Amino acid sequence: MPFNGQQMLPAIRSMKDFDKMLKYPFHYGVFLDLHVGMLKSVFDYARSKNREMFLHLDLIHGLSSDEHATEYICQTIRPYGIISTRGSVIKKARQLGVRAIMRTFVIDSSALERSIQLIHKTDPDYIEVLPGVVPKVIERIRMETGKPIIAGGLIDTTEEVDLAIKAGASAITSSSTALWEMYTPK
């Protein structure tokens, strides 16, 4: 099972959020919205606290989200994994032996079809489906790709978390500390 059964992946937007995450026994999380100059120290700190963190490459301020940035990040920062909406980033991370999450926004049936095609082409380790409040989309992508699904975006309640998990999501990304509390690993 992905993430050793941890169903909630805290989404961290600031060091204050990361300090909140450290109050819980979460082993895995996601860094969002970081400045390129903070990457090394933030990941060194996370490793010192025995946390495995994904990095959303598209949301790094001051760094382009392309294959060259992916290579640099994977070789110098060495995150647990990379998240991106870009197929070239996912392919490069996988070539470098780094876990990759393809983030896909499903806004209509056409976007769903394009996402499934891109997933087959790039072969990510995981897929993050946004918005994560559409169980039938989670189920369809999981069935058509065979990949573990992470649901994210617009998930605000325990009922929405439970529906996503029931539809086949392996985990949920959320910046809500209230949801972190409800889904703290045992």
Between CA 5 and CA 165 the distance in angstroms is: 12
Q: Please state the pTM of the whole predicted model.
A: 0.96
Q: Omega into 131 within 30° of 0, i.e. cis?
A: yes
Residues ≥6 apart with Cβ < 8 Å to 143 = 168
Tokens of 49: 């606290």
Q: Give the architecture (CATH level 2) of 2-182.
A: Alpha-Beta Barrel (3.20)
pLDDT value at position 79?
98
Between CA 179 and CA 169 the distance in angstroms is: 16
pLDDT value at position 150?
98
Q: How high is the mean pLDDT of the chain? A: 97
pLDDT value at position 115?
97
Q: What is the pLDDT of residues 47-73, one digit of tens each?
A: 999 999 999 999 999 999 999 999 999
pLDDT value at position 12?
98
pLDDT value at position 186?
83
The list of the chain residues with pLDDT below 70 reads: none
